[in-house]
């Protein structure tokens, strides 16, 4: 997309950083509030004014802004969700929508913005920073942990523990009734949550988008169950699996193995909620402080990441365009242990 001319009427003039905005965008994840708290207090500690932008990019377009003081972010560290709310915005995808958003930022004298979200949120920030002279710094917040350039995204650890707790309970009833449960977890394009939770729960089979066509493990498990009359078990399925998700796979198994007692549990949005774990709170705090330090250092269009527990800066154009890879060798470990 072509960059607009930087006229005095169409851009924020370069000046000393005085006021920043912060907002959350896309799907919520536990730890976002901890990041908002860290961004706000780190900015205030550096004599910056802070504006909270409610409801993501849509709130930016509508000027839904609130001034944030230290007391406004007190008591939110342990809360799931996001105090600033979040929303999708079709209007922001248009040049006219981004023009409205920029004018609202300009009207509020906001010099730079911290965006907490995933690759879609960062794509919007990248496009807007190319069109207008305003700095965006991103903090990765998504339970999928699928962002390129960072080992960790806010909310992943909490979601992982939520899934493990739920599946541990499902296993109790699976054993009691001799059932096979197909458990679907979030991860439309990334299977890390299904993979790690499946290993943590001792799942017999794990089906993820990154291992396409890997149904031999499911067939072996079903055949083994028939031979040994051990028909209870857990099959973890990422919602984006090519076979159509847990409901479709389970229906196919019912048809091919009518003697098995097959059930489906779709964990859904419980994975996004809940009080963030200590790990999510600490990492969100580190990233929030690092975002303010990056803005004070005149950084622009970067994501704050963690690489071996160290803060790193990842350009938006890499974070949103390059693919995050997972260690599929973990699948081999899982299969080895399910002998």
pLDDT tens-digit series, residues 171-193:
999 999 989 999 999 987 888 99
Average pLDDT over residues 48-73: 98
Of 25-34, 96-105, 223-232, 319-328, which range is least confident?
A: 223-232
Of 112-121, 255-264, 291-300, 304-313, which range is least confident?
A: 255-264
Give yes or no for a contact between 128 and 102, defined as CB atoms under 8 angstroms apart: yes
Q: What pLDDT is recorded for position 8?
A: 39
Q: What pLDDT is recorded for position 6?
A: 41
Question: Domain coordinates of the chain in residue numbers?
Answer: 19-154+276-321, 157-272
Of 95-109, 178-192, 227-241, 297-311, which range is least confident?
A: 227-241
Of 186-190, 202-206, 276-280, which range is least confident?
A: 186-190
CATH classification for the domain delimited by 19-154+276-321, as one of 3.40.50.2300, 3.90.1150.10, 3.40.50.450, 3.40.50.20 = 3.40.50.450
Residue 278, pLDDT > 50, answer: yes
Average pLDDT over residues 132-152: 95
Second CATH level (architecture) for the domain 157-272: 3-Layer(aba) Sandwich (3.40)
Percentage of residues of the chain with pLDDT beyond 90 = 76
Q: What pLDDT is recorded for position 11?
A: 44
Percentage of residues of the chain with pLDDT beyond 70 = 92
Q: Give the pair of three-digit tokens for residue 48.
A: 């910056």
Give yes or no for a contact between 43 and 50, defined as CB atoms under 8 angstroms apart: yes
- What strand order describes the sheet that includes 179-185? 205-207, 233-238, 179-185, 261-266
Q: What pLDDT is recorded for position 2?
A: 40
Average pLDDT over residues 254-260: 90
**Is residue 111 among the annotated active site residues?**
no
Compute the mean pLDDT over every residue in the chain, rounded to the nearest whole number.
91
Query: Same fold for the domain at 19-154+276-321 and the one at 157-272?
Result: yes
| Three-class DSSP category at 326 | coil
Q: What pLDDT is recorded for position 4?
A: 43
- Please pick, among 28, 64, 144, 146, the residue that the annotation labels catalytic: 144
pTM, to two decimals: 0.91
Which pLDDT band, with edges at 50, 70 and 90, does 9 fall under? very low
């Amino acid at each position: 997309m072509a960059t607009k001319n930087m006229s005095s009427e169409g851009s924020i003039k370069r000046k000393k950083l005085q006021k920043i905005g912060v907002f959350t965008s896309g799907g919520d994840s536990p730890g976002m509030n901890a990041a908002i708290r860290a961004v706000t207090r780190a900015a205030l500690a550096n004599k910056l004014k802070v504006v909270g932008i409610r409801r993501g990019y849509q709130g930016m377009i509508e000027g839904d802004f609130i001034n944030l003081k230290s007391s406004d972010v007190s008591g939110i560290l342990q809360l799931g969700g996001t105090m600033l709310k979040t929303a999708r915005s079709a209007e922001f995808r248009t040049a006219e929508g981004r023009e409205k958003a920029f004018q609202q930022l300009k009207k509020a004298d906001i010099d730079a913005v911290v965006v907490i979200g995933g690759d879609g949120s960062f794509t919007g920030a990248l496009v807007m920073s190319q069109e207008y002279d305003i700095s965006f710094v991103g903090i990765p917040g998504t339970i999928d942990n699928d962002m390129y350039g960072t080992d960790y995204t806010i909310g992943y650890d909490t979601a992982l523990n939520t899934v493990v707790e739920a599946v541990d309970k499902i296993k109790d009833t699976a054993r009691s009734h001799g059932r096979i449960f197909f458990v679907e977890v979030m991860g439309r394009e990334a299977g890390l949550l299904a993979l790690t939770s499946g290993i943590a729960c001792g799942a017999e089979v794990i089906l993820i988008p990154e291992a396409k066509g890997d149904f031999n493990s499911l067939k072996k498990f079903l055949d083994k169950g028939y031979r040994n009359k051990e028909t209870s078990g857990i099959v973890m399925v990422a919602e984006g699996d090519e076979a159509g998700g847990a409901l479709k796979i389970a229906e196919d198994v019912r048809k091919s193995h009518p003697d098995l007692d097959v059930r489906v549990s779709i964990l859904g949005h419980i994975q996004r909620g809940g009080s963030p774990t200590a790990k999510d709170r600490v990492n969100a705090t580190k990233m929030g402080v690092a975002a303010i330090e990056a803005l004070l250092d005149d950084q622009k269009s970067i994501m704050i990441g963690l690489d071996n527990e160290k803060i790193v800066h990842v350009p938006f154009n890499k974070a949103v365009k390059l693919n995050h890879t997972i260690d599929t060798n973990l699948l081999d470990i899982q299969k080895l242990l399910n002998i």
